[in-house]
């Protein structure tokens, strides 16, 4: 990666203002829960504005709330992927689109703009992890025919991914992402690059790291090597410039953008911002002015609910990924094409809310943990299951049944248990089907296992109040087991900016 081997800054003002022991301790604290503090910033602002009850506070709240533009694209989206899970605890897939400009009337419709940056954000159902997948603008994909707001249609074509936005706006970008991933997009956010610049300025700059000096007359970007803080036009040029940083490719720019976003998250999470209401409100003002969303995220309250759902997410559970790709042999390196097997594995893991390929054994909530005992012998696709709700919580059996089906199990019936006060989820099997029982028990994380001689060839899961998770299991020869040889290269949000 291009950002490496950077020397520490020797700015005397910075060293004087922040003694070494304070800098070290602050970075250690910030690295533990930056995302929690980022999202807490929004919650704190919301609470302060409402609780204080002052006229100025309410004026500020309504100003921020009215900053957010809404764009309902429902009528332009067709042939959408099926919904895998329902309910408030379902995974969320949010498409983030970076746009050159934000124009229009009060509805602020995007017209005549290009999209150079597109990121698919996947929030796990348990809200304990997130994956942000950058889609290269020069990736060759099949763009479907798209409806335009004026009623005209585009023709299907195979071309660069970013052409979708130019052809028919964000609706066509959503349609294209859904076509290539088979993932249903729940929300979209169009982010204006000029507003992004103001967000960085409201933070008083963001730290970056350069392996060597940059002098780019085309973008007026002139920066020294090493750690430093960028602001304004320099910050925008840094994340957008292609030819004078790295190897000049869009992929190199994506690496740089991912590192910058990680650094920006850490800056937003700093205690100094939370203790400076003026700076915090300035940042939120710039942020809300910079986005156009679907109606489901078009208010401070909607954003507050989303923020609140992920406030306990650890930084090392936030992963940045680029769609696996390789050089396009038909285009002399100007464009790239997907590496189909790896890309399909990535999309499948996100579609069914699984860990990324190659990361199945990480011990975090909702992911596969090492299987105890001898290797499993019966694959999920040969296990018949009844799922009964004994939790007293509506929809729990349906939720678990959908997760089991996603892992390949044959769910024959979903129903209600004999009572609704089960505390622990239980897997029951006939003694003749003990191997099937081991497979199902391994998949339903934290469940109890018991033998019931009257069950025959269909196992029973009684869902308790412990809100059980379904994790992938590996069985030799299983068509449903994740492929261990596929590994997705990823960047962790907690990594240092210079790595």
Span 180-211, pLDDT tens digits: 999 999 999 888 877 778 888 888 888 888 88
Query: Domains of the chain by range and CATH?
Result: 12-349 (3.40.630.190), 380-470 (3.30.70)
* pLDDT at 4 (0 to 100): 40
Instruction: Kindly indicate the confidence band of residue 120, based on its pLDDT and cuts at 50, 70 and 90.
Output: very high
d(CA 96, CA 52): 33
Mean pLDDT of 101-129: 64
CB count within 10 Å of CB 151 equals 6
d(CA 61, CA 51): 11
Within its chain, how far is the Cα of 280 from the centroid? 24
Instruction: Kindly indicate the confidence band of residue 367, based on its pLDDT and cuts at 50, 70 and 90.
Output: very low
* pLDDT at 274 (0 to 100): 58
* pLDDT at 282 (0 to 100): 80
d(CA 141, CA 41): 38
State pLDDT tens for residues 268-325.
766 566 566 677 778 778 878 888 899 988 887 787 777 777 777 777 778 889 999 9
* pLDDT at 43 (0 to 100): 43
User: Lowest-confidence range among 35-49, 190-204, 385-399?
Assistant: 35-49
Instruction: Kindly indicate the confidence band of residue 57, based on its pLDDT and cuts at 50, 70 and 90.
Output: low
Contact, 241 vs 252, CB < 8 A? Answer: no
Mean pLDDT, the chain, as a whole number? Answer: 77
* pLDDT at 269 (0 to 100): 62
Q: Find where tokens 């199990």 sit.
A: 409
Give, in degrees to the nearest 5, the angle at Cα 114 between 110 and 120: 85
State pLDDT tens for residues 423-468.
999 999 999 999 999 999 999 988 999 999 989 999 999 999 888 8
* pLDDT at 464 (0 to 100): 93
State pLDDT tens for residues 440-451.
999 998 899 999
Instruction: Kindly indicate the confidence band of residue 115, based on its pLDDT and cuts at 50, 70 and 90.
Output: low
Q: Find where tokens 């044959």 sit.
A: 410
More confident residue, 372 or 260: 260
How far is CA 139 from each of CA 2, 93, 165, 176, rounded to the nearest angstrom? Answer: 20, 20, 14, 12
The fraction of the chain above a pLDDT of 70, given in percent, is 73
Residue 399 above 80 pLDDT? yes
Main-chain phi, psi angles of 38, to 5 degrees:
-55, -50
d(CA 68, CA 491): 30
The fraction of the chain above a pLDDT of 90, given in percent, is 29
Contact, 273 vs 267, CB < 8 A? Answer: yes
**The residue count for the chain:** 499
* pLDDT at 113 (0 to 100): 53
* pLDDT at 37 (0 to 100): 45
Residues ≥6 apart with Cβ < 8 Å to 152: none
* pLDDT at 250 (0 to 100): 76
Give, in degrees to the nearest 5, the angle at Cα 273 between 269 and 279: 135
Main-chain phi, psi angles of 467, to 5 degrees:
50, 65
State pLDDT tens for residues 70-95.
889 999 998 898 877 666 678 899 99
The token duo for 210 is 């350069």
* pLDDT at 61 (0 to 100): 65
Mean pLDDT of 249-259: 82
Residue 153 above 70 pLDDT? yes
Mean pLDDT of 327-346: 85
The token duo for 283 is 């940042």
* pLDDT at 391 (0 to 100): 93
């Amino acid at each position: 990666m291009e950002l490496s081997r950077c020397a520490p800054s020797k700015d005397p003002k910075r060293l004087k203002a922040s003694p070494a022991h304070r800098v070290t301790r602050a970075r250690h604290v910030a690295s533990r829960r930056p995302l929690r503090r980022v999202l807490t910033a929004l919650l704190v602002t919301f609470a302060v504005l409402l609780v204080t009850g002052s006229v100025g506070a309410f004026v500020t709240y309504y100003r921020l709330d009215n900053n957010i533009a809404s764009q309902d694209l429902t009528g332009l989206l067709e042939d959408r992927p099926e919904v895998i899970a329902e309910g408030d605890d379902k995974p969320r897939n949010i498409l983030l689109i970076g746009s050159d400009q934000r124009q229009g009337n009060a509805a602020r419709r995007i017209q005549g703009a290009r999209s150079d940056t597109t990121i698919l954000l996947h929030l796990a159902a348990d809200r304990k992890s997130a994956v942000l997948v950058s889609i290269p603008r020069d990736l060759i994909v099949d763009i479907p025919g798209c409806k335009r707001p004026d009623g005209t249609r585009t023709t299907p074509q195979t071309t660069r991914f970013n052409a979708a936005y130019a052809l028919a706006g964000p609706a066509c970008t959503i349609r294209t992402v859904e076509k290539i991933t088979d993932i249903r997009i729940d929300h979209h956010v169009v982010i204006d690059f000029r507003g992004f610049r103001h967000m960085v300025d409201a933070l008083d700059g963001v730290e970056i790291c350069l392996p060597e000096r940059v002098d780019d007359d085309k973008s007026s970007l002139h920066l020294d090597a090493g750690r430093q803080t960028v602001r304004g036009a320099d910050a925008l040029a840094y994340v957008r410039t292609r030819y004078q940083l790295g190897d000049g490719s869009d992929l190199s720019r994506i690496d740089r953008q991912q590192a910058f976003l990680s650094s920006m998250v850490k800056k937003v999470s700093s205690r100094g911002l939370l203790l400076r209401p003026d700076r915090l409100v300035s940042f939120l003002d710039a942020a809300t002015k910079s986005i156009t969303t679907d109606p489901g995220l078009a208010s401070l309250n909607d954003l507050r609910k989303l923020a609140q759902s992920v406030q306990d997410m650890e930084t090392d559970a936030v992963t940045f990924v680029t769609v696996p790709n390789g050089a396009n042999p038909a285009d002399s390196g100007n464009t790239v094409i997907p590496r189909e097997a790896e890309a399909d594995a990535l999309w499948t893991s996100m579609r069914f809310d699984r860990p990324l390929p190659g990361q199945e054994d990480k011990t975090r909530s909702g992911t596969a943990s090492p299987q105890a005992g001898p290797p499993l012998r019966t694959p999920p696709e040969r296990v018949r299951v009844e799922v009964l709700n004994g939790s007293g919580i509506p929809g729990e059996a349906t939720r678990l049944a959908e997760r089991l089906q996603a892992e390949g199990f044959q769910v024959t019936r979903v129903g209600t248990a004999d009572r609704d006060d089960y505390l622990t989820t239980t897997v029951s099997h006939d003694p003749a089907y003990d191997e099937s029982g081991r497979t199902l028990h391994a998949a339903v994380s934290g469940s109890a296992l018991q033998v019931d001689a009257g069950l025959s060839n269909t196992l029973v899961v009684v869902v308790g109040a412990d809100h059980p998770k379904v994790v992938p299991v590996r069985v030799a020869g299983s068509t449903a087991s994740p492929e261990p040889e596929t590994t997705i290269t990823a960047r962790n949000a907690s990594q240092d900016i210079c790595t």
